[in-house]
Amino acid sequence: EVQLVESGGGLVQPGRSLTLSCQGSGFDLDGYAMHWVRQGPGKGLEWVAGISWNSVTMDLADSVKGRFIISRDNAKNCLYLQLDSLRIEDTATYYCARDLNYGDFLVPESWGQGTLVIVAS
């Protein structure tokens, strides 16, 4: 069974940093592209970042470019999202998702349960 478990969320002050992790199990991470998607409280989904199976291709939403970094460690079956210069509007539940394919990250198919990040002073 495919499982994705996010961790690393919590309460953080504006301007500080946080790193989220997504541990995959039941499959080999290196066969798939991966995504991060977030959802603010009471709001809709927002695509945040994607990475190809071999980390050659990455992309970030304009709202987080220059502040967030997506990375992966296939040997550990783990996906990461480094969140720097956090803003109040970054408050959200962050979901990781496995893509349907290994190359282009276009179809987030299997989702984790999410980790909550609260940015507040």
Q: How many residues bind other proteins (CB under 8 A)?
A: 21
- Please, which residue, 82 or 110, has the CB nearer to other proteins? 110
Phi, psi of 11, deg, nearest 5 = -95, 130
Q: What is the DSSP letter of 95?
A: E
Does residue 9 interact with other proteins by CB under 8 A?
A: no
In whole angstroms, how close is the CB of 35 to other proteins at the nearest point? 8
- Count CA atoms closer than 13 A to 34's CA, side-chain side: 29
Round to whole Å and give the CA distance between 18 and 43.
22
Does residue 2 touch other proteins according to CB under 8 A?
no
Beta bridge partners of 24: 4
Residue whose CB is less far from other proteins, 56 or 75? 56
The contact set with other proteins (CB under 8 A) reads 37, 44-47, 50, 59, 61-62, 95, 100, 105-114
